[in-house]
Amino acid sequence: MSLLTINGLEKTFKHGSTEEKILKGIDLDLSKGDMTALVGASGSGKSTLLTIAAGLQEATGGEIIFDSENLTALDDEQVREIRAKRFGFVFQQAHLVPFLTVQEQLELMLDTAELKWSKEERRQEIEDILEKVEMQHHRDSYPDSLSGGEKQRVAIARAVIHQPEILFADEPTASLDSKRSKEVMRLLTSLTKESSITVLMVTHDESALEYADYTVQMKDGLIEYPG
């Protein structure tokens, strides 16, 4: 069952009087619970595709249908609400809030998603996710005292704690060594499969592809189909 459908997506950037077309009409379907990896050379448009699909940038043309709703027709506040409640994000850098402890990062996400959970449910969910990402002993630590791998584990916990329907991951292992990359990918896969979260992931890391259900190759703003 298709959760997110992209039809004829286009994106053009203007640099002064010149225009550069980054996406030239992308069609893509993401099914519920699947992990799709976007691969391709730098400049192929994969990160642009991910950020537009995630509602972080506007498209120049085409449409994005999420759960029967046309994201490209919604206003900024409606898109923000979808991002807060139904999307999750993991970036190349962890991008944790520097003045919040690990536990507070998770609480912030629950507040932002405006979930109607009881205090006990919130506490339990935080406990569970901290245990899954093995960060329960760092609950009161600030980001500046964590290693790169630890930060990324917290970022993954933050991205899934509100049980989003889609997780957008932009090169989640790019800043990690191969050992940490595998750990992070295993964690990402187990957490998303467990809750049937659909994942759209951009990666350059070939080892990350083994966790993906589908791999989509991009070249020059278009999807390159085999054969």
Partner 1 sequence: MKMAWQEIMKSKTRYLILGAIIFLISLLTMIISGLANGLSYDNASLIKELPAGTFYMEEEAEGQYNFSSLDGETMEEVETVSSEVMFLSIQMGEIEDADEKRHSVAFVSTANNDYFPSIETGGLVLDASIMEEGITAGDGVTNGMLDHSLTVDEFVEHQKFSHAPVAFINHDDFQRMYSTDDFQLAFIPGDEAPHMDGYNQFTNDEFLDTLPSYSAEQLSLNMIVVFLFVISGMLFGIFFYMINVQKIATYGILKAVGVKTSKLFKMMWVQMFIITVIALLLSVAISQLVGIVMPEGMPFLLTIDSASMMSLVFLVIGFIGSTASGIQISKVEPMQAINQGGI
Residue ranges that bind partner 1, judged by CB under 8 A: 51, 56-57, 80-81, 83-85, 87, 89, 91-100, 104, 108-109, 112-113, 142-144, 151, 158, 170
Distances (CA, A) of 12 to 66, 79, 170: 22, 21, 20
Neighbour tally for 18: CB within 10 Å: 7
For partner 1, give the closer residue by CB, 31 or 204. Answer: 204
Q: How far is the CB of 141 from partner 1 (least distance, A)?
A: 12
Query: Based on CB atoms, which residue is closest to partner 1, 36 or 48?
Result: 48
Q: Which of 22, 19, 80 is nearest to 49 (CA)?
A: 22
How far apart are CB 99 and partner 1 at their closest, in Å? Answer: 4
Shortest CB 57 distance to partner 1, Å:
6
3-state SS class at 18: strand
CB of 58 to partner 1, least distance (A): 10
Beta carbon of residue 137, minimum distance to partner 1 (angstroms, whole number): 20
Q: Which is nearer to partner 1, 147 or 210 (CB)?
A: 147
Q: Please identify, using beta-carbon distances, which residue of 177 and 224 lies nearer to partner 1.
A: 177
Of 144 and 206, which CB lies nearer to partner 1 in the complex structure? 144
Beta bridge partners of 218: 40, 223
| Minimum separation from the CB atom of position 85 to partner 1 (A) | 7
In terms of CB distance, is 40 or 143 closer to partner 1?
A: 143
Q: How far is the CB of 191 from partner 1 (least distance, A)?
A: 17
Distance between CA 93 and CA 96 in Å, rounded?
Answer: 9
Spatial distance between the Cα atoms of 30 and 23, rounded to a whole number of angstroms = 18
Nearest to 26 by CA among 83, 57, 64: 64
The secondary element (H helix, E strand) that includes residue 143 is none
DSSP assignment of 46-104 equals: HHHHHHHHTTSS--SEEEEEETTEEGGGS-HHHHHHHHHHHEEEE-SS----TTS-HHH
Q: Which is nearer to partner 1, 153 or 158 (CB)?
A: 158
Separation CA 75–CA 217 (nearest Å): 31
